[in-house]
Structure 1
Amino acid sequence: MKLVYIGTYPPRECGIGIFTQDLYQAMVADPDKEKADTLPAENPVEGFVVAMNDHDLEYAYPEEVKVVIRQEQQRDYLKAVKYINLSGAELCILEHEFGIFGGQNGMYILPLLHRLEIPLIVTLHTILEKPSYNEKAVLEQICKMAYKIVVMSHKAIEFLHSIYDVDPGKIELIEHGVPDIQYDQEQSKKAFKLEKKKFLLTFGIISRNKGIETVIKALPKVIEKHPDVVYMVLGKTHPNVLHHSGEEYRNFLHLLVKTLHLQEHVIFLNEFIDQNELFRYLAASDIYITPYLNEAQITSGTLSYAVGVGSAVISTPYWHATELLAEGRGRLFGFNDSVALSTILLELLDDPEALKKIRKKARDYGKTITWSKSGDKYVALARAVCRDKPEVVSRPETLIDPLMLPPFSLDHIRRLTDDTGIIQHAKFGIPNLKEGYCLDDNARALLMVLMDYRQTKNKIALSLAPIYLSYIHFMQNEDGTFRNFLSFSRQFLDEVGSEDSFGRTIWALGYLLGNAPNDAYYQTGKLVFFDALPNFEKIQSIRGIANTMLGISYYLTSNPSDESMVETLRNLAHKLVNHYGANRTEDWKWFEPLLAYDNGILPLALLHAAEILPEERIREVALESMDFLTKTTLHDGYLSIIGNENWYQKEGERSQFAQQPIDALAMILMYQQAFHLTKDKEYLSKLFSCFMWFLGENDLRMSLFDFETKGCCDGFESNGINRNQGAESSLAYLISYLIVLQAFEEFEEKQLVKTTGQGR
């Protein structure tokens, strides 16, 4: 029987990873061990691991890890499921925790599970009593796809049935396994030089919800009577906490210790130690404490370990603790109640026999939940599922296939970027410094890196953002308008840039205000955006108007109550609608008497406005003009862009050549927003067809993407590809790429709503 396990995995420092490794080792046949009792020789268990990576970190995984998924990279999930389906595996075991999978509430795992061609068992490590809409929908969908669901407490069964409507017949209770590692307490204390101390211990990943301050506040009263007490906090700060808040919580605890004069009694060991060392500390402890701040914890691996090794445990009454410490296996105290904790500590430290009784009951229970026993239960469950041979219904492939895309890379953008901004032109793949910088491209670059960071948490993208934002700020005039061009020697080359460049800048700034990665960027963007505001309604260029509308629309996603800005959007939308009315005829449904450049941006702006403004006329014009543009440029299964040699005059001949990437980008954005607005999946098919223009599905059947430089060529002429790879074309390609991934995610979310039968 061949199994595949999906979860985090050591050496990544993660509790789920340790669980996955323990489970793998408890189930998979080891030729050096006798397992004849549970594993018939003719059908041993074998398997491999698909490991989840956090962001762009790399680990030296052991040989059982065959595939690695980067958490925020959608393509990795699809590549992994293809590998699994071709591997000969008979069953998949998924370790589910919301935080280890990418996308909103871990949604990226769903496309992988939808495409599995083998039965699924899922172990749920978190089950929320009050989930958000998406949290509930994601978990319900996983439970529907799973043939069996493993939980570790009775409370979890209750929640799955009452909150998530899961059939109890699907659910199996297998308690959290515990390594069968035993150390003598006296020898362990001696090893740590604690033989003359009363040793209290808390271990695990550190974050504010762990309530360690409750223990520290309880210590002064205890130490008055037992001055030999030492309390150790063993564990690293949670990586997400480090990312957002640094060591704020740990510093707070250190300050609290100092304020209460407990420096001689509290030890912080900021390490992620191996199991053998951990169990030695557990054996040495007189009392183990889990002081979590609320009841919403359905499973605790640290608590299971402490009980399994026979520790005397004191805990707050969170769900798992209430079950595991029942029948005298531990003591409970109230949340945030340091007085009650100090009372229990004094009772137990004053009564060694009571401590011994608790330890014995915990140790006896621990013998029933060793990994060898839990592993046998998982093996029996896996064999039963395989014997049942459940039918697996694979969902049809989506209209978007991210695996057809080359790997995403910022190599060429980094090559074009210096400490001033992004160079606007290139000779082939080399920056052309003679041409200097322009506002348009730095605005596009800011938009692209913000999109990249929002979707993939790419730190390189985040590091580039302030360069482009500072260029925009530098180019702003006192009246809020912007210069456009800057020489390589940093000399201004114009007084006021085009309305198009103004609009593109507002677009990027509006996106920043709706998706700011931190407050510093938000405040700078807000300053520039509102300094430019007096010029919004002065714009006459319809593309400048459209780009500005996009910026306003993104701003309003996070500031919907700004009525003044809503009114500005309405006024600009009416300008576009009026242009449309003045030029539309039965056979020419467009905003001007020609199709020129960046055409899709005009319907796109109205599609965004239609989402905010309840005016049917805006929606009608958006969809009608989009349909006209579609019939003109998207036929025979591929995109044929209006060339900018002579463009396409009404009642004239359309130009085929000098096709440019910004037009493909506008079409892709237009169809994404059309799908978002209408939920018509046909727009996804069109979106993907437009993206494939970059990769050879075009009039010349030649790829504009350069697989060597990772840049995009500037377009194509009648005699072939323009091999220069400037900022505009490469940024158009990369933004388009990110839109494809975003549209794929939105489609998966739509499928989630459809299959769960829930609406927002």
Structure 2
Amino acid sequence: MKNPSILYVTSFPPRECGIATFSLDLTTAMDKEFNPEIKSRIMAINDNGTSYYNYPRKVSFQLYESKMENYINLAHEINRTKEIKLVNIQHEYGLFGGDWGDYILPFLELIKKPVVVTLHTVLEEPDERLKKITQEIANKARGIVVMTKTMANFLEEIYEVKKNKIFIIPHGIQNIAYPSKSKSKKNLGLEGKLVLSSFGMINRDKGYEYAIAALPDVIKKNPNALYLILGATHPNIRKQEGEIYRNKLKKLVEKLGLQEYVKFYDKYMTLQEKIDYLKATDIYISPTLNPLQTSSGTVSDALSCACPVVATPNFYNKDVLDDGRGRFVRFRNSKDITKALIELLSDKKMRKEMQKNAYFYSRHMTWQNVAISYFKVFNQFAKIVPKDQGKLPSISLSHIRTMTDSFGMIQFAQHTRPDIHSGYCLDDNARILLACAMRYKNTRRSDILKMLEKYLNFVTFSQKENGKFWNFVSYKQTFIDDVESEDTFGRTIWVLGYLISQKHIPKHLKIETKKIFTKAKRWITDLNSFRAISFAVIGLALIEKSEPNKQVRNMITILSDKLVAGYRKQQAIEDGNVWRWFEDCLTYSNFKLSEAMFRASEATDNDEYLEIAKESINFLSKVSFENNDFFSPIGQDGWYFRGGKRAYFDQQPEDTSSAVEALTAAYIVTGEERYKKQARNAFLWFLGKNHLGQMVYDEATGGCFDGLGKFSLNFNQGAESTISYLLARLAIEDYF
């Protein structure tokens, strides 16, 4: 039986059209997330019966916009195609044949599959015929997707579409690492320029003449300014009038003597070309003349590349350019554009702040997040849940390398760039040592071995003469803490235990690891913090499993019995059958306590440890999984005290990683498939299966955002978060 598929009715490349580009990006993102279990298929709309395009294989059908019988025949064919589970129509007025595109109506009447329509334009003041057509489309569709709240309000208030039928999903953008404007300019030969740009398929509604007319006074104050007008003339405009508008713009440039300051790139821009120029852009200009425009891929893309935007206040721009992301100018007003450009070009600090505002606002709009949102809508009507929702991203160490210098891994990041003044800590460098050792096991790559050696050297550097460890190291490579952290000690024992247990670790590194461990082991059984105990037990259990040792086994028992005592103490309190935990509060790294009991039970064959491991992880899973599926770690903004209410927000990657690692360990020890399934579901938190529906892992950098708040992500990508994601990803590598 063929895998289920979604059919997208849309224009599609190589046809030159904004909807075509949108649909290519959307289906590419959907396929990346869900193919092969759910495939994307295309019904490509051709502009007339004589247009032929060399379409890719995913185009299964071709619809000629002006042939009514073609709509009817294709509707019947779709109904006969069993693997098509849902139809998504990308709708724009003028894309379909007939009066205001009403040829789509008999098609919708005949289709028996669920239909979701994406409206790219919703007019505030439609004439009666257009309003009626839009209402009929909405009535026949199961769901309507729009890109902004304004569009949703219009549908509800003007077109009388039921609110529960409307879904807001933003226009997608490419997931791009925060750009360096200077490097991007250098790559394009634009060093030293203040780059202004506009892009898109040229037509009179763009209003570029007003931007050009604004430049003379801008150039006087900023002689290094350069305005790039990027993109070919819209093919429909080219058919109707050729290059009249472009030539008019060129004549205006000559008249104003701006030939050195305005450059035209007359071509259909590839995705990479578009990104390259936007990354080099200091200010993006959108002087559109259409106040009714309700979506804009060009403005969305500009935001994604950290471009402040000077724009006219159409509906879409008003939705996305508030809060310091842009400057509004009046329609057809060159003086306003001049004033805005001079203000922004003269204030580098303000421009930098607006760049950040634009970039971080747009993170929820990445195509990965948009694909997840579309899938949720589709799944409401077609029930096409794949077995493994969300593909596992390939393993990347790129952000680890970014955060690492010649000494070690730097603690914090300002967005994606390491903050060297935050210094280093052993907590991070020990855990990245663990991650590199795990990755080296499967790759045997020499570059990863060098990283492993560097982080092991950091551990050696951090060990005190008495065998304990310093945690914090300044950027000057001097120790700055004098308070010993049991958590740091426990985590280090965990990591050392893994290295000692692995046969693939080179001999000279294993000798150094054992030397550190031998020096530290006299302090192990003194641990009292339950998390520190748990970290240490996990490492000791790995040693015992690979090299059985009575002394190590005794240490496991001593430490595990402390956990048992805490667990039994909580059980002795009234309602102990409800609160099956080791303490009276769930805080951070909670799952590690249960993992320690699983590891201890395996190392010592102790049934009591296994019983407590199962009881505690089942209790914690019940608290952390909604409907036994949706993972929501304990929020750090309040935690969860016995008898109180659990906190949901300020969720941390470290807690999700602990859950993935512990549930994977539970599966390894018990062989019970439910733990494997839960580990997978917990990992999907990183990939958008969370209350924001947003990716926490950043595929563009290989880093991980620092947390999940109630309404937004923490957009810094520090060491702990990135390591946490990597450890979770490595934990499930061999089991999924």
Tell me the residue number matched to 1:535.
none
Cα distance in 2, alignment partners of residues 257 and 196 from structure 1: 22
Contact 1:309 1:366 in 2 (8 A): no
Counterpart residue number, 1:699: none
Q: CA deviation at 1:98?
A: 1.0
Offset at residue 188 of structure 1 (A): 2.1
User: Does the C-alpha gap of structure 1 residues 388 and 179 become closer, same or farther in structure 2, counting only changes over 3 Å?
Assistant: closer
Q: What do residues 233-283 of structure 1 show as CA deviations (whole Å, max 9, x unaligned)?
A: 111112222222221111111111111111111111111111111000000
Write the deviation string for residues 318-361 of structure 1: whole angstroms up to 9, x where unpaired: 11101101111111111111111111111111111111000001
Is structure 2 residue 98 aligned with structure 1 residue 95?
A: no
* Runs of 5+ unmatched residues, structure 1: 390-760
Give the 5 Å matches for 1:246-257. Answer: 246-257=242-253
The alpha-carbon deviation at position 54 of structure 1 amounts to 1.4
Alpha-carbon displacement from aligned partner over 1:516-554 (angstroms, at most 9, x marks no partner): xxxxxxxxxxxxxxxxxxxxxxxxxxxxxxxxxxxxxxx
3-state SS of the aligned residue for 2:173? coil
Counterpart in the other structure of 2:20: 17
Mapped to 2, the partners of 1:355 and 1:87 lie a distance apart of 53
- Structure-2 separation of matches of 1:83 and 1:326: 46
Alignment check: 8 A CA contact 2:117 2:141 kept: yes
**CA positional deviation for 1:158:** 1.4
SS in 1 for 2:365: coil
Residue equivalent to 1:287 = 283
Q: Does 1:301 align with 2:304?
A: no
The one-letter code matched in structure 1 to 2:55 is: Y
Q: Specify the alignment match of 1:153 in structure 2.
A: 148
The SS at the match of 1:240 is helix
Q: Look up the match of 1:667.
A: none
1:47 aligns with 2:40: yes
Task: Give CA-to-partner distance per residue, 1:384-434, whole Å, 9 cap, x none.
Answer: 122499xxxxxxxxxxxxxxxxxxxxxxxxxxxxxxxxxxxxxxxxxxxxx
Q: Which amino acid aligns with 1:115?
A: L
Query: Deviation digits for residues 410-460 of structure 1, max 9, x if unmatched?
Result: xxxxxxxxxxxxxxxxxxxxxxxxxxxxxxxxxxxxxxxxxxxxxxxxxxx
AA partner of residue 53 (structure 2): Y
Give the corresponding residue for 2:57. Answer: 63
Amino acid of the structure 2 residue aligned with 1:191:
N
Structure 2 residue aligned with 1:338, among 329, 334, 339? Answer: 334
1:190 to 180, 186, 189: 186
Give 1:2 deviation, angstroms.
2.1
Q: C-alpha offsets along residues 652-708 of structure 1, whole Å, 9 cap, x if unaligned? A: xxxxxxxxxxxxxxxxxxxxxxxxxxxxxxxxxxxxxxxxxxxxxxxxxxxxxxxxx
How far is the alpha carbon of 1:75 from its aligned partner?
A: 2.2
The amino acid that maps onto 1:61 is: Y
- One-letter code aligned to 2:146: V
3-state secondary structure, aligned to 1:138: helix
Q: Distance in 2 between matches of 1:358 and 1:251?
A: 33
Instruction: Say yes or no: does 1:127 pair with 2:122.
Output: yes
Cα deviation per residue 1:613-667 (whole Å; 9 max; x = unaligned)?
xxxxxxxxxxxxxxxxxxxxxxxxxxxxxxxxxxxxxxxxxxxxxxxxxxxxxxx
CA distance in 2, matches of 1:274, 1:238: 15
CA 61–120 in structure 1, closer or farther in 2 if over 3 Å, else same: same
Q: Does 1:322 align with 2:318?
A: yes
Contact 2:75 2:107 in 1 (8 A): yes
Which residue number in structure 1 is paired with residue 354 of structure 2?
358
Q: 2:69 aligns with which of 65, 75, 92?
A: 75
Q: Paired residue for 1:216?
A: 212
User: Structure 1 residue 112: deviation in Å?
Assistant: 1.1
Q: Please list every run of 5 or more consecutive structure 2 residues that lacks an aligned counterpart in the other structure.
A: 386-736
Quick one: distance in 2 between partners of 1:87 and 1:179?
A: 32
> Alignment partner of 1:231: what SS?
strand
Equivalent in the alignment of 2:270? 274
CA distance in 2, matches of 1:87, 1:273: 35
Counterpart AA for 1:44: E
1:185 and 1:327 mapped to 2: Cα distance? Answer: 22
Residue 258 (structure 1) aligns with: 254
CA distance in 1, matches of 2:81, 2:270: 31
Q: Say if 1:98 and 1:294 are closer, same or farther in 2 by CA, change over 3 A.
A: closer
Distance 1:76 1:181 in 2: 40
Question: CA-to-partner distance for each residue in 1:31-65, whole Å, 9 max, x for gaps?
Answer: xxxx5xxx5x9x93223110001122211111100
What is the deviation of 1:214?
Answer: 0.8
Write the letter of the residue equivalent to 1:321: N
Structure 1 counterpart of 2:47, one-letter code = D
Using the alignment, how far apart are the partners of 2:339 and 2:41 within structure 1? 49
Letter of the 1:98 counterpart: Y
Q: Distance in 2 between matches of 1:355 and 1:370?
A: 23
Alignment check: 8 A CA contact 2:146 2:152 kept? yes
The separation in 2 between residues aligned to 1:328 and 1:44, in whole angstroms, is 42
Larger mean Cα displacement after TM superposition, 216-225 or 307-316: 307-316
Give secondary structure in 2 for the equivalent of 1:98: coil
Percent identity over the alignment? 38
Q: What is the one-letter code of the residue matched to 1:102?
A: G
Aligned to 2:171: 176
What is the root-mean-square deviation in Å for CA atoms of aligned residues? 1.7
TM-score by length of 1: 0.49
CA drift at 1:20: 0.9
Cα deviations across residues 710-750 of structure 1 (Å, max 9, x unaligned)?
xxxxxxxxxxxxxxxxxxxxxxxxxxxxxxxxxxxxxxxxx
The answer for the alignment partner of 2:734 in structure 1 is none
SS in 2 for 1:99: coil
1:11, CA displacement in angstroms?
1.0
CA distance in 2, matches of 1:119, 1:103: 23
- Determine if the alignment matches structure 1 residue 4 to structure 2 residue 46: no
Find out whether 1:27 has 2:30 as its counterpart.
yes
Write out per-residue CA displacement over residues 94-119 of structure 1, whole angstroms, 9 at most, x where no aligned residue: 00001111112111111111110111
TM-superposed deviation, 1:215? 0.4
Decide whether the 8 Å contact of 2:16 with 2:234 is kept in 1.
Answer: no
Residue 692 of structure 2: aligned partner: none
Alignment partners' CA distance in 2, 1:288 and 1:169: 36
Which aligned pairs between 1:153-552 and structure 2 lie closer than 5 A?
A: 153-182=148-177, 183-387=179-383
TM, length-normalised to structure 2: 0.50
The answer to whether the Cα contact below 8 Å between 2:176 and 2:304 also exists between their aligned partners in 1 is no
Deviation for aligned residue 1:194? 0.8
Q: Is the 8 A contact 2:89 2:117 kept in 1?
A: yes
Aligned amino acid, residue 12 of structure 1:
R
The answer to whether the 8 Å contact 2:16/2:235 transfers is no
Q: Is the 8 A contact 1:50 1:80 kept in 2?
A: no
Inter-partner Cα distance in structure 1 for 2:245 and 2:340: 26
Contact 1:51 1:69 in 2 (8 A): yes
- Find the aligned partners of 1:21 and 1:315 in 2 and give their Cα distance: 27
Which residue is 2:138 aligned to?
143
